[in-house]
Structure 1
Amino acid sequence: MEVGDLHKVWEIHALKRKPDEPAARALLDRVAKQVQPIMRRRKWRVKVLSEFS
């Protein structure tokens, strides 16, 4: 594993009982990718990024 891979979102969970789960997961994926440069700079890690109602 590369050092750059440590500072990121490790898992993404969308609510499974909602009808638009694929769209929610896609949105969470985009958010995780957008904040990755900030997380690398600050040396932050997020184990689970999840949707809530």
Structure 2
Amino acid sequence: MKIYIQSNGVTMVGKPKQIQLMIKHYMNHYETIEEWIQASPTKSKSHLKLIQ
């Protein structure tokens, strides 16, 4: 699974079940996509390590 965080949005590439799981995970940490995009890069990376 790959996640590309860009200034105008987020692109997820992977199996549908993986994407659903990641969306649910990130919904627990951020209220909006904008908050997720603006979060510090180290914080986002640590979340990715937890899921993988």
- TM-score normalised by the shorter chain: which range applies? 0.3 to 0.5
TM-score by length of 1: 0.37
Q: Which has the higher contact order (CA 8 A, sep 6+)?
A: 1
Q: Judging by fraction of residues, say which structure has more helix.
A: 2
Which protein shows a greater Rg?
1
